[in-house]
Structure 1
Amino acid sequence: MDPTDGDDEEEFGLSRNYFLAKEIGSVSGRKSARKLSDIALVDEQVLRAAVPEIVPKHEKETASLLKSYKDLYSKWLFELRCGFGLLIYGFGSKKILLEDFASSALTDFGVIVINGYLPSVNIKQVVITIAEVLWDQLKTKRKCSTGSKPKHPFSSQSTEDLFLFLDGQLPNENDCFVCIVIHNIDGPALRDSESQQYLARIACCSHVRMIASIDHVNAPLLWDKKMVHTQFNWCWYHVPTFAPYKAEGIFFPLILASGGNAQTTKTALVVLESLTPNAQSVFKILAEHQLANEKEEGMPVNTLYTKCRERFLVSSQVTLNSHLTEFKDHELVKTRRHSEGQDCLYIPLASEVLEKLLQELV
């Protein structure tokens, strides 16, 4: 037997694997043929009516799992007393779990529940409510003299004054604090930077303890190192419940349902998120121009190319054309002839849809 046969066979295997990898890469690199109009959507009312008809599964196992987490309550309470915050994550709704913990283990303290999954949350009103609950708690425990009253109602005080009260020093107040339970601190109404900064300031007040749940995979990106370790001071707990998101999902448009502008935004967002960051930025430039010049027939290709070059999004007209081809294939961008004979680009979406899309496309 020729000893070189083994080497030839190994070399043949390597070369075969190389061309096989190139073939797979060329297939995966092909453009998607999906279009925005190809997404088949059901009427939202029909879909929401069908959801309650789904037969729940594994109810006994889910209930048993929730019951097993009760063993953590004493540890959670101890960590809250020590000044830590609790961050609960894992698959499934944590609403029932957190409210059971609050009703059974936090009976000696004031508790405020914030539903972060709601479309809007008034942070200033939250701070006022915390101050009022803390004041009532101090009076109940006789840690304030009976004749001592706030000079002004909390609702008329500035946010800074409220924070000074929540973080103030009172005699024998070491075990006097208000617990804030936030369902979905990563919810749509709270995930902006300003809201998170306010929540971080609330969490680090000496008379406040925070318990929150998260569900979005990128939720930790909302905070920097100081917020996580100094202000929120999180203790992380993985407690999957596998419970359905009944309350949390009621305010979200269903992705498989047609619901007018809200759903158009959702489907367009699905397409855009599959593109590269540079392509998304090019789309943003076009969308911002269209919103600022609603009476114009569109944006000339040369103008778009100039703005993209200024922001270092494309290096040549060829690169821009590849992005535009992707947009046109998905019917996100169309071309029409300007009255002066120039080809202009426009997005076939309503202004309110574009505004919402730019907010969602981070």
Structure 2
Amino acid sequence: MESTDFDEGDFEFSRNYFLAKESSTSVKRSTHKLSDIDIVDEQELREAVSNIEPKHEKEIDLLIKSYKCLYSKWAFELRAGFGLLLYGFGSKKALIEDFASTTLTGYSVLVINGYLQLINLKQVLITLCELLGDQLKAQRKTPSGSQRSYNALSIDDLIAFLDGPHVDGNECSICVVIHNIDGPGLRDSDSQQYLARIAACSHVRMVASIDNVNAPLLWDKKMVHTQFNWCWHHVPTFSPYKVEGTFYPLILAHGGTTQTVKTATIVLQSLTPNAQSVFKVLAEHQLAHPDDEGFPVNNLYSTCRERFLVSSQVTLNSHLTEFKDHELVKFRKNSDGQDCLYIPLTTEALEKVIEEISQ
């Protein structure tokens, strides 16, 4: 009976409390809105971040040196058929590139920047096959002077070539280095399946890094233990994600013209000089004809061929695919139904990009 009285009293107290809160006139709702936030320019915010003084530099240097002592072990694991997966807080880009340049000298190394928004995996496969083809010629496994075009092959055919029986043992080997295999350009299921198949090829070894805590959810048991065959290494570097972070917008910042120019410049500087020249041709035409609907693809090919920038339509298409994947150019049809190209940048931004890559 006493317990019942206590429960009723407790209920009545709670009821009166919430009634008092509901009827209170002293509670005022905030009039602030999200649009009232003073958002700074992204470039200014990045400059402020870059000016933050690093801490614990001596301890971090000792940590990196301890990882370098593991290079021989990592190389042995690769030779044994395992893939290396590096994880831990901080950018691992510099560490992996140092490992590749100092220890993987016996491999042909291909680097994939998974932190980019778009990545053309077929072009990656074509490049891998070209590297293996060059090794085969060096080993005199194919007739001298013979050349093979891989552009017309399907993805399945390209992977079959990488896993083919045309090389005995480990005479020819390629190492694929992937910075941020869990990045936005590789995070979909199809991309991960293709990467797993590439890693399982007999003449391919893979070194990758992850930074997302949910990255292992991208793979099933077969991919982890059979195809990738990962050896997991915890290597926190505590290094800032300077390069990787360039392609991500910062919180409480809006992208301005300066940031757009910087991003486009970084992408273009990572391409070949010929690809940059092709982009300049398109950019100069757009600046000279701002009212046009775009530059017809056929006209671009004629201009680039006259300037000896491309030797065939296939070469030009390869450059255009690279531009499109990085959202440097876009396609649309003009009033005559022709396929045209245009650069989705303002005149001011485009002029700055041309100036940057011409230096």
User: Which TM-score applies when normalising by structure 2?
Assistant: 0.60
Cα shift readout 1:119-154 (whole Å, capped 9, x = no counterpart): 2111000000111111112222x151434845x401
Q: Distance in 1 between matches of 2:224 and 2:75?
A: 19
Is 1:207 the equivalent of 2:198? no
The aligned residue for residue 241 of structure 2 is 245
| Alignment counterpart, residue 226 of structure 2, candidates 230, 255, 258 | 230
Q: Distance in 2 between matches of 1:171 and 1:118?
A: 33
Shift of 1:56: 1.8
Is 1:198 the equivalent of 2:191? no
Cα shift readout 1:23-57 (whole Å, capped 9, x = no counterpart): xxxxxxxxxx9975466532212212222222222
Q: Distance in 2 between matches of 1:92 and 1:208?
A: 27
Q: How does 1:333-348 map to 2 (within 5 A)?
A: none
**Matched position secondary structure for 2:70:** helix
Q: Distance in 2 between matches of 1:58 and 1:255?
A: 26
Cα distance change of structure 1 residues 83 and 39 upon mapping to structure 2, 3 Å threshold: farther
The aligned residue for residue 76 of structure 2 is 78
Shift of 1:155: 1.8
The aligned residue for residue 94 of structure 2 is 96
Cα distance change of structure 1 residues 171 and 133 upon mapping to structure 2, 3 Å threshold: closer
Q: Distance in 2 between matches of 1:136 and 1:56?
A: 44
Cα shift readout 1:209-238 (whole Å, capped 9, x = no counterpart): 110000011111111111111111111000
Shift of 1:68: 1.1
The residue type equivalent to 1:65 in the other structure is L
The aligned residue for residue 263 of structure 1 is none
Q: How does 1:25-174 map to 2 (within 5 A)?
A: 36-37=34-35, 41-140=39-138, 142-147=139-144, 149=146, 152-174=148-170
Q: Distance in 1 between matches of 2:161 and 2:50?
A: 46
Shift of 1:182: 0.3
The residue type equivalent to 1:184 in the other structure is N
The residue type equivalent to 1:146 in the other structure is P
Structure 1 residue ranges without an equivalent (≥5): 1-14, 20-32, 261-362
Q: Distance in 1 between matches of 2:150 and 2:116?
A: 24
- Give the conservation status (yes or no) of the 8 Å contact 1:186–1:214: yes
- Give the conservation status (yes or no) of the 8 Å contact 1:185–1:213: yes
The two structures, once aligned, show a CA RMSD in angstroms of 3.1
Structure 2 residue ranges without an equivalent (≥5): 1-9, 15-29, 257-359
Q: Distance in 2 between matches of 1:215 and 1:38?
A: 33
Cα distance change of structure 1 residues 183 and 63 upon mapping to structure 2, 3 Å threshold: same
- Give the conservation status (yes or no) of the 8 Å contact 1:109–1:137: no
- Give the conservation status (yes or no) of the 8 Å contact 1:114–1:182: yes
Q: Distance in 1 between matches of 2:222 and 2:209?
A: 19
Q: Distance in 1 between matches of 2:76 and 2:140?
A: 22
Shift of 1:64: 2.0
**Matched position secondary structure for 2:126:** helix
Identical aligned residues as a percent: 67
Shift of 1:86: 0.6
User: Which TM-score applies when normalising by structure 1?
Assistant: 0.60
Q: Distance in 2 between matches of 1:45 and 1:94?
A: 24
The residue type equivalent to 1:144 in the other structure is K
Q: Distance in 2 between matches of 1:126 and 1:145?
A: 22
